[in-house]
Chains A and B, each alone.
Chain A
Amino acid sequence: MSEKAWKISKPSLEALASRLLALAAVIAPARTTAGEVDYSEITEPGQIAWDYSTSLTSLKRFFFPQVEPLFEFSRKERGVSLKPAFDRRLRVFLGVRPCDVTAVNFMDKVFSRDYDDPYYSARRQNSLLIALACNQPGENCFCVCGEGGPFLKSGYDLQLTALGEGYLVEAGSAKGAALVEDNSNLFSPADEKDLEEKRRLAKQAENSFGEPKSYFAAALRKISFGKTDDALWEKMGEVCLGCGGCAYICPTCNCFTVFDHADSTGGVRRRHWDSCSFACFTREASGHNPRKEQCQRLKSRFFHKLAYQFVLRNGRHGCVGCGRCVSVCLGEDPMPEVTLRIRRGEWAS
């Protein structure tokens, strides 16, 4: 949906950021103290690192934090009192990558499918996503295989594309269009030439990935129909160190566990990220563990990421191709390598 398109100059974009800062929390790519780029809440537009390839972490934690209080509870004379902790802060995500926006759209489905998760929804409903299309993929990126980018077709409120001195701005939602209208003095209309240039850049970006890094079609088919060899999983299990990093860094992994931090008078219930790589993730109270071995856990993880039954349920497979698991994997089982091995049916490195 690109019927609504404008242009904005760099200074005007900074001015927009300033206006947004007065209205909401602004989350944008920014340098850490060590100079690496991560999405963080900024306090002034100058902190935005516009020139980056991938942020250290995705947007997941802003909607589904690594640890979050769900509610406080206390013992009353009769019964228990509960005080839920919803986060309804207004937030604008500015300059975020398409793969991460795609992942947010995926998570929207997960957290609302059978049961609307009020914690997720409270955050999501009060957010605005302004994507920045990727003109140049990073070293580990494979969004083109994961259908997560490098340019978005939908799922954003606004999408920016760097065009020479400024940006093309496309609205993907009424909320996005309204933001442009409310700040119309900062925008100028875009013409067909600008849109043509954007299409050319998108094509160029797609072509710049070179050799395919992940082979989803074949992997999806094989894993969905049980056509993967257990010996291969055993081999891959041997080089999985069970750190859980893949699940934690993955923008679409959404498993969590719940702990009560309490004494006899009351306490707080928190949910923490959890990972299917961990030995006790599936351990039952009886002591039985259906996935006792690392290789079984690894297989289950990739089944959940790629099998058709989950594709049908979520509208897509569970990898947007951000490439973060490639750098974070403590062992040797990141998504692109695993899908390649599944496709070939043998160990490949």
Chain B
Amino acid sequence: MPAILTTCPFCGCGCGLYLRSEEGRLAGVFPSLAHPVSQGRLCIKGWHAYELSMSPARLTNPLVRKEGELVAATWEEALQRAAEGLQQVKQQHGSQALAVLGSAGCTNEANFALMRLARQTLGTNNVDFSGRLDWAAASGPYPGSSIPSIDEADLILLVETDAGDEHPAITARLLRARRRGTKLIAVTQRRHRMARLAELHLQPSPGRAAEVVAGVIAATFTTSFFTTLPDAIVKSLASIFLRLADFSPEKAAAAAGVSIEQIRQAAQAFVEAKKPVALIGRGALRDPRAKDLISSVSSLFALGQAMGQQSPGADATGGWLALGAKANSRGAHEMGLDPALLTGYQPISEARAREAFEAAWGARLPHQRGLGLWEMQGAVRGMLIMADDSSFSTPDHKTVRKILEGLDFLVVQDSLAGELAERADVVLPGAAFGEEDGTFTSLDGRLQRVRRGVSPPGEARPHWEIVCQLAASMKTDFGFRSPSDVMDQIALLTPLYERISYPSLEEGYGRLLPIHFLHGGEFSVTPPLELKAEPPARESALPLCLAVDFSVSSWEGDPVVLSCPTLRREFSLQIKDFPAGFVEVNPDDAKRLGLRNGSKVRVVGREGEFTAALRISEEVPAGVVLLPFWQRERAFPVLEEKREAADRLPFIEPVAVRIEGA
């Protein structure tokens, strides 16, 4: 069997790899040298993608719950049970009591079919996926950069990201950029690898990256370069300037906890750059003020463009990229897994977009915005979850657990057994990576094929096909006979995916989707910058600031990664080394507190406390306690899940704490 070219299933970079198969099982991986993103390189995860199909936790049979037990069933029986169960909830409680979750790990085709099932068959806009958290703030047809464009930048601004092990293909490009002499400026709370390698590292207090960016904008107006600009340009920038009138570089520096000299150095480097790029990481995207931060970065780049800066790369129209996406986070969102959006960011509330779908599907669609995952508690009674392990990625497992506990009926469609499948009334076994045809959309909008190298094991079937069969069990024939048919309909109904078809994706390595401007081709700054003038609150009794760190070991405990034996060994290292968890502090703080590396500590907050091992790290700023994201649950007596006002998205805000020996 010849090796097949496909797209890596882990992070959102979209690396190209070949899959080998031997006697019906995946037998290896090797990189494609000519691929525009990966260029012959893979990270540890990509090299082990072949292990995904050999997890001992694979679901290979449909299961239905009988007298409290999950027992093997035929596909016919399972689909029938799933259809009946969902319809029963609909009859008793209305379609608003139904919800559907798709997956950043599934193809566009499977997610599109699922979205169609929710809106057409079930009649609900309660459709979402947990990966939206890492993507929502940056999503939209924004002027974005592309991964290959990083090579052409002369200044790279890293905002709360190391790229690190989260997006290694980008990390690799950053190393090469630095070697070519490209300036790196890091604005990160942690002094991680890239911050150490950067020319300039501004280390803001937790959650204050937006203030640093605003400070750089304010300082830009006072650089010598700026005073040489023509009046007309200066005038055009007045709106940005006015917003910042009350916010001097000094004030920004004080609020962010960085020095004014550093702010000025960053501003100087920025005005001297011709092709800057900014990379915004999960630490910033998961912040309650993520939209503000993105608007600050957009303002900075608007300023740069007015001063004659260009976007690096032929593909790119803008200078920044949001990191944090899984393989198909962007695609899942663009397939309409959003309570308010149809495909390609078309609002469900807009009659014109909705009518096109209604005409194509021959059905009326609900107009009202549905419920997002984090609004479902108490409102949803029946659910279909396709390969989405929300409890891994959302800040508070409890919220998701409560939603699940409140269900009368749950259908889980997944390739892996686990806690979620154990709760289900019906389990539909799905294909894993390498067993299904389709497409992924990378974080920079590269739409690429994923290809099937082997058949799913046992009775498992491709996800897109299961969704269509479930729809058929509820008397809606989608008419899709292949993933290619699904893409044809996506292209028909989605301006962003216009004219895309499988044959068009065969040439080269997929397509970079056209990037639209939000505001008629001009940059503008819509939401006001809500900047904070003070550093995060600390109290004399609670002198340290506890913050969640997204930049280290971002794959630790990821259920998909854990299903590969080699990756399970590597990505459970910290769990094994620190079975009771750990927090990290700076050596000076540890010395002051008289605490040693590895000692057991009590972290005390206003509301409660938790214990953990202490890790002393030079990478942590003074006065800060960092907690890796994957350990957040143990810290919930101190941390609290909060909700963003607009979309009720959950986040964790830094809190004041003290540390004492336990």
Binding site for B on A (CB under 8 A): 32-36, 38, 40, 56-57, 61, 65-68, 238-239, 241-245, 248-249, 257, 259, 261-263, 270, 272, 274, 278-280, 283, 287, 327-332, 349
Contact = CB atoms under 8 A, between A and B. Distances in A.
Contact of A263 (B29, B56, B566): B56
Given A272-B565, A279-B573, A32 B2 contact: yes
A66 B40 CA distance: 17
Contacts of A238: 193, 196-197
B44 A259 contact: no
B179 interface: yes
B20 A66 contact: yes
Contact of B179 (A241, A261, A328, A349): A349
Contact of B54 (A61, A261, A331): A261
8 contacts: A34-B509, A65-B28, A238-B197, A242-B44, A245-B42, A257-B569, A278-B569, A332-B175
Interface stretch (B30-38, B347-355, B378-386): B30-38
A65 B43 contact: no
B31 A261 contact: no
Given A36-B33, A245-B47, A272-B565, A61 B28 contact: yes
Nearest to B16: A34
Given A61-B28, A280-B569, A33 B5 contact: yes
A283 B566 CA distance: 13
A38 B20 CA distance: 12
Interface centre among B18, B40, B46 (most CB of A within 10 A): B40
Interface of B: 2-5, 16, 18, 20, 22, 27-35, 39-44, 46-47, 50-51, 54, 56, 165, 168-169, 171-172, 175-176, 179, 193, 196-197, 509, 565-566, 569-570, 573, 576-577
B33 A56 contact: yes
A38 B40 contact: no
Contact of B31 (A66, A245, A270, A287): A245
B44 A243 contact: yes
B30 A57 contact: yes
Given A287-B577, A328-B41, A330-B43, 19 more contacts: A32-B2, A33-B4, A34-B16, A38-B18, A65-B27, A65-B28, A66-B28, A67-B51, A241-B165, A241-B175, A242-B44, A244-B44, A245-B47, A261-B56, A272-B51, A279-B570, A327-B33, A329-B41, A332-B179
Contacts of A272: 51, 565-566
Contacts of B175: 239, 241, 331-332
A328 B18 CA distance: 14
A67 B31 contact: no
Nearest to B43: A243
A242 to B, nearest CB: 6
The 9 A-B residue pairs whose C-beta atoms are closest, nearest first, are: A66-B28, A327-B40, A259-B565, A330-B41, A330-B172, A280-B569, A243-B43, A34-B5, A57-B30
Nearest to A261: B56
A241 B565 contact: no
A243 B32 contact: no
A67 B42 contact: no
B40 A328 contact: yes
A280 B33 contact: no
A243 B18 contact: no
Contacts of B569: 257, 278, 280
Contacts of A249: 30
Contacts of A262: 56
Contacts of A287: 576-577
A226 B509 CA distance: 46
A249 B16 CA distance: 16
A141 B565 CA distance: 34
A65 B22 contact: yes
Contact of A241 (B31, B43, B196): B43
Contacts of A270: 54
A32 B565 CA distance: 28
Nearest to A57: B30
A336 to B, nearest CB: 15
A240 to B, nearest CB: 10
Nearest to A294: B193
Contact of B29 (A32, A66, A279): A66
Contacts of B46: 243
Nearest to B566: A272
B573 A283 contact: yes
A313 B172 CA distance: 35
Contacts of A261: 54, 56
A34 B41 contact: no
B570 A331 contact: no
B343 to A, nearest CB: 28
Contacts of A274: 566
A238 B29 CA distance: 26
Contacts of B168: 241, 243, 330
B54 A33 contact: no
A244 B47 contact: yes
Contact of B32 (A36, A67, A242): A36
A40 B28 CA distance: 13
B42 A34 contact: no
Nearest to A277: B44
A257 B193 contact: no
Contact of A33 (B2, B31, B39, B51): B2
Given A241-B171, A330-B43, A38 B30 contact: yes
Contacts of A38: 3, 18, 30
A280 B82 CA distance: 43
A348 to B, nearest CB: 12
A65 B50 CA distance: 12
A227 B129 CA distance: 55
Contact of B41 (A65, A245, A259): A245
A332 B42 contact: no
Contacts of B47: 243-245, 248
B51 A32 contact: no
A67 B51 CA distance: 9
A279 B553 CA distance: 12
A3 B52 CA distance: 51
Nearest to B4: A33
A287 B576 CA distance: 8
Nearest to B197: A238
A128 B44 CA distance: 33
B3 A280 contact: no
A349 B181 CA distance: 12
Contacts of B570: 278-280
Given A243-B47, A244-B47, A56 B566 contact: no
A259 to B, nearest CB: 4
Nearest to A278: B570
A127 to B, nearest CB: 17
A66 B46 CA distance: 13
